[in-house]
């Protein structure tokens, strides 16, 4: 590949914004890396220049909770084609890395989902980083839209199933109070990123899971015990701990923006990850879908079952980024950290992607002056697909 220069946009670094600079990228097809920067008036003559015409060039978004997209639900299509379609749908909105998320299901479907993730990684499907298994080891009292007839207890067979080696990343969301002592530790030692969610765990039970290696918390505030004066709950444990990350659904509907502002102020920006919890309507043509026999419809920008229960979202990462700035008061550097840098660190991929820095993979997004997606690059492969 010829050395390329991406020129004409402001460049969002982990701690600054640069103007008047071009980003240089080079490498083999599918694995193009960031080389460095050059003044726009002094771009090397051997460069192929891509003019971006203003806006912002920043690291591509990384979403660790994606149930579906492009009218596809991962549970209904746990295969490589399903993953490809979901990743393509989210790429339109600046997401260059996803953890496709399986909602609570039977063991055979879990096995299919894990196998599909491995095959997608083997085929190098653009954007697939691994698989997130959200349940079925959850608490019925906090089931949300999940079908609790598919819930199961954690035992040795479950740990073995979830610990199958992966060439990518694997996240497991479970209710720690229902997992036997040592379960979180066993999964963590197998390389699994264990998150707590859909749980009635109190503060002490959450702390115990943290000591076993719990890596994070799935959609903070939603489907977990809350922070109260005499019972800090799971939310309190999440905000107190400095080793973990938590996902936030910044759509203004799942959680009040003030609660998110307080949480980030308490924990620190470095703990927060923007996630979508996206369902099939994102990047699709339909505003409704069926989840385990339940009809779910997009209402006021989110997904709800017949009784009003939240069932994921219709949020995109591009909109989450804009909401982080407009609702939560962050600048674009801070919003980028929550959309890219922090998820990369959580996934232990920050030496590969998640920032604009020499040596990292050219996973990038170009936003126009109104923060709308215009172009993405995954491993340097460009796609113009306006939001």
277 among known catalytic residues: yes
For 80-182, strand residue ranges (E) read: 95-103, 130-134, 169-174
Q: Which residues, at least 6 apart from 180, have a Cβ–Cβ distance to it below 8 Å?
A: 154, 155
Separation between Cα atoms, residue 109 and residue 102, nearest integer Å: 9
Evaluate if residue 95 carries a pLDDT over 90.
yes
Q: Are strands 31-39 and 302-304 parallel, antiparallel or unpaired?
A: unpaired
254 annotated as ligand-binding? yes
Sheet containing 193-196, strands listed edge to edge, beginning at the edge strand earlier in sequence = 61-66, 95-103, 130-134, 169-174, 193-196, 216-217, 245-248, 272-274
230 annotated as ligand-binding? yes
Residue in this structure with the two tokens 């994102």, named with its chain if needed: 282
- Contact criterion met (CB below 8 Å) for 284 and 71: yes
The pLDDT, as a whole number, for residue 30 is 82
pTM score = 0.97
pLDDT band at 387 (very low <50, low <70, confident <90, very high): confident
Evaluate if residue 1 carries a pLDDT over 70.
no
Evaluate if residue 232 carries a pLDDT over 70.
yes
Q: Are strands 68-69 and 72-73 parallel, antiparallel or unpaired?
A: antiparallel
Q: Interhelix angle for 203-211 vs 233-240, to 10°?
A: 40
Separation between Cα atoms, residue 192 and residue 132, nearest integer Å: 10
Task: Domains for the chain: give ranges and CATH numbers.
Answer: 4-58+354-384 (2.30.40.10), 61-346 (3.20.20.140)
Q: What are the pLDDT digits (tens) for 265-319? A: 999 999 999 999 999 999 999 999 999 888 999 988 889 999 888 889 999 999 9
Q: What's the mean pLDDT in 151-166?
A: 96
85 annotated as ligand-binding? no
The pLDDT, as a whole number, for residue 293 is 87
Evaluate if residue 386 carries a pLDDT over 80.
no
Q: What are the pLDDT digits (tens) for 55-80? A: 999 999 999 999 999 999 999 999 99
Q: What are the pLDDT digits (tens) for 17-37? A: 999 999 999 999 888 999 999
Find, among 263, 259, 272, the residue nearest to 338 by Cα: 272
Separation between Cα atoms, residue 278 and residue 273, nearest integer Å: 14
90 annotated as ligand-binding? no
Residue in 26, 71, 147, 277 annotated catalytic:
277
Phi and psi for 303 in degrees, rounded to 5? -105, 135
Q: What's the mean pLDDT in 322-332?
A: 98
Residue 111 three-state SS: helix
222 annotated as ligand-binding? yes
30 annotated as ligand-binding? no
Evaluate if residue 261 carries a pLDDT over 70.
yes
311 annotated as ligand-binding? yes
């Amino acid at each position: 590949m010829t050395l390329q220069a991406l020129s004409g946009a402001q460049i969002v670094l982990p701690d600054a914004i640069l103007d008047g600079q071009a980003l240089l990228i080079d490498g083999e097809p599918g694995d193009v890396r960031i080389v460095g920067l050059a003044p726009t008036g002094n771009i090397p003559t051997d460069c192929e220049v891509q003019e971006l015409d203003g806006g912002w060039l920043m690291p591509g978004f990384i979403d660790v909770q994606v149930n579906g997209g492009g009218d596809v639900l991962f549970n209904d299509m746990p295969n490589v084609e399903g993953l490809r379609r979901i990743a393509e749908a989210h790429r339109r909105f600046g997401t260059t890395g996803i953890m496709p998320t399986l909602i609570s299901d039977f063991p055979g479907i879990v096995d299919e989902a894990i196998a599909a993730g491995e095959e997608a990684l083997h085929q190098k499907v653009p954007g697939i980083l691994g698989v997130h298994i959200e349940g079925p080891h959850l608490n019925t009292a906090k089931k949300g839209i999940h079908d609790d007839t598919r819930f199961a207890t954690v035992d040795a067979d479950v740990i073995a199933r979830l610990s199958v080696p992966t060439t990518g990343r694997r996240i497991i969301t479970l209710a720690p109070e229902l997992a036997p002592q040592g379960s979180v530790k066993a999964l963590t030692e197998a390389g699994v990123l264990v998150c707590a969610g859909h749980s009635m765990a109190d503060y002490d039970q959450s702390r115990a899971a943290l000591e076993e290696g719990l890596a994070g918390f799935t959609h903070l505030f939603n489907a977990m015990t809350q922070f109260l004066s005499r019972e800090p709950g799971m939310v309190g444990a999440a905000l107190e701990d400095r080793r973990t990350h938590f996902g936030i659904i910044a759509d203004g509907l799942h959680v009040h923006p003030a609660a998110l502002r307080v949480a980030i102020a308490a924990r620190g920006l470095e703990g927060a990850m923007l996630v979508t919890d996206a369902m099939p309507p994102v990047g699709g043509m339909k505003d409704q879908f069926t989840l385990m026999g339940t009809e779910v419809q997009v209402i006021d920008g989110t997904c709800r079952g017949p009784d009003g229960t939240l069932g994921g979202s219709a949020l995109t990462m591009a909109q989450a980024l804009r909401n982080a700035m407009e609702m939560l008061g962050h600048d674009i550097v801070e919003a980028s950290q929550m959309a890219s840098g922090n998820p990369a660190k959580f996934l232990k991929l920050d030496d590969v992607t998640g920032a604009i820095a020499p040596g990292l993979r050219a996973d990038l997004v170009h936003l126009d002056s109104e923060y709308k997606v215009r172009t993405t690059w995954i491993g340097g492969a460009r796609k113009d697909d306006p939001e």
